């Protein structure tokens, strides 16, 4: 049960986020959310008409924390390698603090791409990346980096950051690492991934 100084609505949202992240949307139970918020199911439906509505509110709130920071970095006018270092470090830190988020997001993204993409990109999806694309192409043209398309570069960076949190149980077992040792590996990626990418693309 969360701090009683929060409004009931905030208690619910906090409890709902925790349960959704732990169990996934399909696995989450309204009963459990109510229990953790210290109320009952009826009141849950009084505040949020349905589970679907509740989840949308939670997703909206949760994504709001991260997205502006990512876009700020991608749109900043800055040396490309520094952008990559900042992106890896800031987004990586956020992921360390929210390690369950990737699995939840990936599932909802695939279940309802429309809703999700609109939430992340607003009305004009393709355009937000224009600045970053120009900077990559300029760096290629100037011979600063290997010829690589913006899609491939971006997919690579994002994959390297997020996937370890999804495959963690597998990696830990295959590599024969303790939970602490695996955590240390993830920590060191906050800098290692950036250098890995930079070495790969540097001309």
Partner DNA sequence: GTCTATATTCAGATAGAC
Partner DNA sequence: GTCTATCTGAATATAGAC
What are phi and psi for residue 145, nearest 5 degrees?
-130, 160
Q: Is 144 an interacting residue with respect to a second copy (CB under 8 A)?
A: no
Q: Is 95 an interacting residue with respect to a second copy (CB under 8 A)?
A: no
Q: Nearest-CA neighbor of 132 among 113, 110, 109, 158? A: 158
| Interacting residue with DNA among 1, 22, 29, 65 (CB under 7 A) | 29
The whole-angstrom distance between residue 81's C-alpha and the CA centroid of its chain comes to 21
| Interacting residue with DNA among 40, 130, 146, 152 (CB under 7 A) | 40
Report yes or no: 33 and 16 within 8 Å, Cβ to Cβ. Answer: yes
Minimum CB distance to a second copy, residue 86 (Å): 18
Cβ partners under 8 Å of residue 57, min gap 6: 13, 48
| Interacting residue with DNA among 1, 22, 52, 167 (CB under 7 A) | 52
How many other C-beta atoms can be found within 10 angstroms of the C-beta atom of residue 134? Answer: 11
- Residue 28 per-residue DSSP state: -
Q: Is 72 an interacting residue with respect to a second copy (CB under 8 A)?
A: no
| Interacting residue with DNA among 2, 35, 36, 43 (CB under 7 A) | 43
Q: Is 30 exposed, middle or buried (0-12, 13-18, 19+ CB in 10 A)?
A: middle
| Interacting residue with DNA among 6, 10, 50, 138 (CB under 7 A) | 50
Tokens standing for residue 198: 């930079």
Binding site for a second copy (CB under 8 A): 24, 26-27, 103, 106-107, 109-110, 113, 116-117, 120-121, 125-129, 146, 148-152, 154-156, 158-160, 162-164, 166-167, 169-171, 173-177, 185, 188-189, 192-193, 196-197, 199-201
Binding site for DNA (CB under 7 A): 8, 28-31, 39-43, 45-47, 49-52
């Amino acid at each position: 049960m969360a701090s009683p100084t929060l409004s009931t609505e905030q208690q619910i949202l906090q409890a709902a986020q925790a349960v959704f992240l732990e169990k996934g949307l399909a696995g989450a139970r309204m009963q459990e959310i109510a229990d953790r918020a210290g109320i009952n199911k009826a009141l849950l439906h009084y505040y949020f008409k349905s589970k679907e509505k509740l989840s949308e509110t939670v997703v909206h709130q949760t994504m709001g924390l991260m997205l502006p920071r990512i876009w700020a970095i991608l749109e900043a006018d800055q040396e490309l390698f520094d952008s990559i270092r900042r992106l890896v470090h800031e987004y990586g830190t956020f992921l360390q603090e929210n390690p369950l988020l990737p699995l939840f997001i990936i599932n909802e993204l695939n279940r309802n791409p429309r809703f999700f993409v609109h939430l992340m990109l607003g009305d004009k999806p393709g355009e937000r990346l224009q600045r970053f694309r120009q900077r990559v192409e300029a760096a290629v043209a100037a011979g600063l980096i290997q010829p690589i398309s913006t899609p491939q570069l971006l997919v690579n960076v994002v994959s390297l950051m997020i996937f370890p949190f999804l495959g963690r149980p597998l990696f830990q077992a295959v590599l024969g690492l303790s939970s602490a040792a695996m955590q240390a590996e993830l920590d060191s990626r906050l800098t290692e991934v950036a250098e890995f990418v930079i070495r790969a693309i540097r001309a």
